[in-house]
Structure 1
Amino acid sequence: MNTYLQIHPNDNVLVALQDIPAGTHVSFNGQDIQLQQNISAKHKFLINDIDGNEPITMYGVLVGKSTRPLKKGESLTTENVVHDANAFHEKDGAIQWQAPDVSKWKNATFMGYQREDGQVGTRNYWLVIPLVFCENRNVGVIKTAFEKGLGFSPAEVYNEQVQDLVALYKSGNIDAVKQYEAENITATDKRNIIFPNIDGIKFLTHEGGCGGTRQDSDALCALLAGYIHHSNVAGATILSLGCQHAQVSILQEALKKLNPKFNKPVLVYEQQKSASEFAMLSAAIKDTFLALVEANKQTRQPTPLSKLVIGLECGGSDGFSGISANPAVGHTSDLLVALGGTSILSEFPELCGVEQELINRCVTEEISDKFIRIMRAYENQAQSVGSGFYMNPSPGNIKDGLITDAIKSAGAAKKGGTSPVTDVLDYTEYATKPGLNLLCTPGNDVESTSAEVGSGANIVLFTTGLGTPTGNPIAPVVKLATNTRLATRMKDIIDINTGTIISGEHSIAEMGEQILEYVIKAASGEVHTKAEQLNQDDFIPWKRGVSL
């Protein structure tokens, strides 16, 4: 295994692939570089001496500038480097893309749920949704009733642990309580036997729908409409209080905008028009049960891979993200695009510094202009409250080598592969064009993943270097570790280890192909992701305030 890597020939830094002690002599391009400090794996050191205010280049792009003169072999830190990124402008140059060979998958299919509107689901869910936070409790009542009644509830191991502790405490044996160790279990699928063709009932509670601005409630309704319209959803039960900003009529208009011929069953209950809370909930439970009977009649059918819509997401990124997991996922995206499928790249604050590359990949000037307009508006909004994209990296990112937003962004953008950008979507807009779509979201893991699924992603590839448990209520989220140490330590949440790219066991292309094979199995219901097995149903709507 190599101890260091130059990502791009124009870079003036090397990335440590393992811990390298101070004083080590590194031979690179015929020159001897003595390390000035201990360099931890994932961190960077300079190839040559530079003055203060000089550019730092990674992935072939500007990612920062020095704050003082630095020696070759010196480690990059937040004390000696600050964020800097190239400006961007209108589309320049023609698109040149060499699609990968996909003959291996030319006739491949996945087993999906084919909907009347032409979409194909990888799962078959029923949704229960409150239009306002006031109804969260009532949704919880329905959740308890159905999960226990139909066998959708997660494992009871932790309830059993508490019962054991209570029994020991009641016996007066406090020492036994202190020494108690619960039996470790691994996540397992718990399938209901009443409706075998239904993957579950999902409950999208949230804190919105009233208060805030009317724009917030309109955006919430648009996001919820995207979930109801989604290929993985058979229908929905809606609870409304009645007086909130997020009116039923707004949701209905949002559904019509997505599909003028929308005809999925949507059951609506308004508490302020009901005889009582009990009457509303009883009716909702009975009607939902009857709707489940109909939804259970849908079965999986062989479907071309072109019907897959993959969300490209990262969270808890580290210094290996842009070297292993992200480019591997990018190759998977390119394979799917070449097969006529769709992928969605989001997290606009994490595209800082690579905007021009994406602009030049847009298939039309109209699409590139939309991307420019949204990016500039987002950055201006952040700056208006004294923030900016440069403040995006988290303490965990920085600790593991992503010391500027541009370094993080240049690696994050690798998830989008190299294919042309066929569309740019603002938040809650639905993906309708095959190919790579850019979707405006924050960098926040759950807000972004929630948005990708709301825009049609029927499976999500989520890369992580530090270990992030994010899942989604209705779309399988495949968790990919950037390094083997993480994959081994947190195997209960990780599905695929791409750390073998770092060790040299696999190439990026080989790993990208392996990921596609896993996607086909997951989309067909042959395997369930760790997030699904753990019932990791994260859902956070984005209020269009500043969230990085």
Structure 2
Amino acid sequence: MQKKIIKVNSSDNVAVALVNLKAGEVISFEGEDINVLSDTKSKHKIALEKFESGARIIMYGVLVGTANGIIEKGDVLTTENVKHQSDKVFGKTEKFSWTAPNVDKWKDRTFMGYHREDGQVGTENVWLFFPLVFCENRNIETLKEIFEKELLRQKPTAQQLLLRSLINDEETSAVEAEASTNVFENIDVKFITHPGGCGGIRQDSESLAKLLAGYVNNPNVAGATVLSLGCQNLQINIFKEALEAINPNLNKPVLIFEQQQMGTVDEMLTAIVKDSFKAIKEADNTERKPAPLSKLRVGLECGGSDGFSGISANPTLGAVSDLLVALKGTAILAEFPELCGVEQELVNRCVNEKDGDKFLALMQAFEKSVIDAGSGFDMNPSPGNIKDGLITDAMKSAGAAKKGGTSPVESVLDYGEYISKAGLNLLCTPGNDVESTTGLVGSGANVVLFTTGLGTPTGNPIAPIIKVSSNTELALKMPDIIDFETGAVIRGEKTIEKMAEELLDFIIEIASGNIQSKAKILNQNDFIPWRRGVSL
């Protein structure tokens, strides 16, 4: 018989409803009866004790809010009777120790990846086109049309076939769909556009340069074609300096074209097509070879979270993170606004005190910038989050942080910094799904795990994004988006540990190219840099 409520941590004074509860229902829990006072939807929280006004509300073992008035035992927690609150952090308070999980069954496992000369291993082999400035977006789009039409030759979508049949006044079934083909076997060609590179503060252009350099250095990229206008803030030399700072010994083809030095658009595009095709053809010779799991660099992301995310999908990612760290691999936890309230635990887990100080400094600077803009971290939960039970930022954060598992924090990175240490890394990004995922890949992630309880169709141009749903209903409703689901944890059919082992197996299949992520099948290639400054 499925449980009706669950307490995540033994010290919690609230419980999560696993099913819809009716007012007047009596639930036997931990040796006492709880009278449900209000209709409570699954994923929402009910009080396990009476809260006086201002009382501390504890979930995941941490402070997630305070009572905004009296809350009776058995009543549902809402945005009206609870307000965001988190504990203050004053630096490292205790010594941290970690017992790594047993990874004997994984130590000899490999994935089939693309080996780069600098020792990194890619899970994809991508030739990347991108501009240094938004003025070149149109030329990128033109190149995309040229290359996709001739190289990819994608079959029409169902909607294109429908429109074609309507135009020709034919039955849809009478219109034949051409098969998709790809001129090359081992290389994908992808295109990035963005609104940056000029018009803002110089620091934004420098940050964008680091991000784009990180994409070029990412092991999933075989080489790149870069377009510059010539007069923009993000000058070619700034991009080259960023690339050299990340990898002084980079040995990848990077073709750079500057429009203001090349004459007409037609002349420039002709040169780009000729030179890029030659380089892409050469990059197609790279083939997959076995690589140890220590070469996996997995980004940890969540979006469209629900009240189950913190007890099924996110802890599953945390267990996978711990397995990878034990195997000398890398996990990257981002979304700093969604670490609000769990800073103390993360600071205590930092191997080096300097990283703990850096983490707090980045958090404080980020929060100050949000307050200066007239908002605050407490405004982070979206309407969808709130509707599905995540009513304070601290509550959302406590569940989101579960993606990072329990291992030591080896390094703390600001946005645009590239990974240099294996193990668990913290990366400063916003909570915005695409801005965060964009940053994870720019810092070196060759796979991203993305948990969701509501369904988010996010992808990335160079890295597989694996969507992990917190519940079975979502996976059944949106099978074209969800890759892996953890609903069996909610039903009590599987442990977090068992689910993590299954997910790690799935990651290996994705990383080896045996399975395509749903985002790749949908050709979802989202790229949004985090712009921290203002326009000038």
Same fold (TM over 0.5): yes
Q: Give 1:152 deviation, angstroms.
A: 5.4
Tell me which amino acid in the other structure corresponds to 2:337: P
Give the match for residue 279 of structure 1: 267
State the Cα distance separating 1:181 from its structure 2 match: 11
Give yes or no for the alignment of 1:164 onto 2:152: no
CA distance in 1, matches of 2:415, 2:333: 12
Would the aligned equivalents of 1:161 and 1:182 in 2 still touch at CA under 8 Å?
A: no
Counterpart for residue 473 of structure 2: 485
Structure 2 length-normalised TM: 0.97
Map of 2:43 onto structure 1: 42
| Aligned match of 2:417 | 429
Question: What whole-Å deviation, never above 9, does each CA across 1:395-447 have from its counterpart, x for those lacking one?
Answer: 00000000000010000000000000000000000011000000000000000
The answer to whether 1:364 aligns with 2:352 is yes
Output one character per residue of 1:125-163: Cα deviation in whole Å (capped at 9) or x when no partner: 000011111111111111111111012546433222212
> Is 1:542 aligned to residue 530 of structure 2?
yes
Separation (CA, whole Å) in 1 of partners of 2:507 and 2:104: 17
- Paired residues in the alignment total 532
What is the deviation of 1:191? 5.5
Q: 1-side partners of 2:509 and 2:502: how far apart?
A: 11
Alignment correspondent of 1:125:
126
- Pair 1:365–1:15, CA change in 2 (3 A): same
Q: Higher mean Cα deviation, 303-312 or 93-102?
A: 93-102
Preserved contact between residue 8 and residue 60 of structure 1 (Cα < 8 Å)? yes
Which one of 373, 380, 391 corresponds to residue 368 of structure 2?
380
Rounded Cα–Cα distance in structure 1 between residues aligned with 2:446 and 2:405: 19
For 1:66, give the aligned amino acid.
A
Q: Distance in 1 between matches of 2:78 and 2:38?
A: 11
Q: Kindly state the Cα deviation for residue 182 of structure 1 after the two structures are TM-superposed.
A: 12
Q: Tell me if structure 2 keeps the 8 A contact 1:7–1:58.
A: yes
Of residues 310, 317, 325, the one that matches 1:329 is 317
Say whether the 8 Å CA contact 1:18–1:40 is kept in structure 2.
Answer: yes
Q: Aligned equivalents of 1:126 and 1:182: distance in 2? A: 37
Please state whether the residue corresponding to 1:500 is helix, strand or coil.
Answer: helix
C-alpha separation in 1, matches of 2:255 and 2:152:
23
The separation in 1 between residues aligned to 2:225 and 2:323, in whole angstroms, is 37
* Letter in structure 2 aligned against 1:517: D
CA gap 1:258/1:50 in 2 versus in 1, 3 angstroms: same
Tell me how large the CA RMSD over aligned residues is. Answer: 1.7
Q: What is the alpha-carbon distance in structure 2 between the residues aligned to residue 375 and residue 332 of structure 1?
A: 26
Could you tell me how far 1:30 is from its partner in structure 2? 2.2
* Inter-partner Cα distance in structure 2 for 1:440 and 1:224: 17
Name the CA shift for 1:67/1:277 in 2 (closer, same or farther; >3 Å).
same
**8 A Cα contact 2:204 2:533, kept in partner:** no
Q: CA deviation at 1:29?
A: 2.2
CA shift for structure 1 position 190: 5.0
CA 1:258 to 1:61, structure 2 compared with 1: closer, same or farther past 3 Å? same
Partner in structure 1 of residue 447 of structure 2: 459
Give the CA deviation at 1:449: 0.2
Matched residue, 2:246: 258
Q: 1:280 to 1:354 in 2, by over 3 A?
A: same
* TM-score between the two structures when normalised by the length of structure 1: 0.95
Residues 341-368 of structure 1, C-alpha deviation per residue, up to 9 Å, x if partnerless? 0010000000000000000000010111
The alignment status of 1:523 with 2:511, answered yes or no, reads yes
Q: Per the alignment, do residues 440 and 79 of structure 1 end up closer, same or farther by CA in structure 2, a change over 3 Å counting?
A: same
Identity of aligned residues (%): 58
From 175, 183, 186, the equivalent of 1:197 is: 186
Once the two structures are superposed, the pairs formed by residues 148-227 of structure 1 within 5 Å of their partners are 148-151=149-152, 153=154, 155-168=156-169, 190=180, 192=182, 194-198=183-187, 200-227=188-215
The runs of 4+ residues in structure 1 deviating greater than 3 Å are 152-156, 180-183
Unpaired runs of 5+ in structure 1? none
Q: State the AA in 1 paired with 2:50.
A: D
Q: Work out the CA distance in 1 between the residues paired with 2:346 and 2:90.
A: 11
Quick one: which of 388, 402, 408 aligns to 1:400?
A: 388
Task: Give the Cα separation in 1 of the matches to 2:515 and 2:360.
Answer: 39
Residue equivalent to 1:315 = 303
Distance 2:158 2:33 in 1: 57
Partner of 1:12: 13
Give the corresponding residue for 1:80.
81
Compared with structure 1, are the counterparts of its residues 181 and 481 closer, same or farther at alpha carbon in structure 2 (3 Å cutoff)?
A: farther
1:105 partner amino acid: W
Conservation of the 8 A alpha-carbon contact between 1:154 and 1:535: no
Report the CA distance shift for 1:17/1:181 in structure 2 as closer, same or farther (over 3 A).
farther
Structure 2: tracts of 5 or more residues without a match? none
Post-superposition Cα deviations, 1:12-71, rounded to whole Å, max 9, x if no partner, equal: 111000101111001122221111111100000001111111111100000001111111
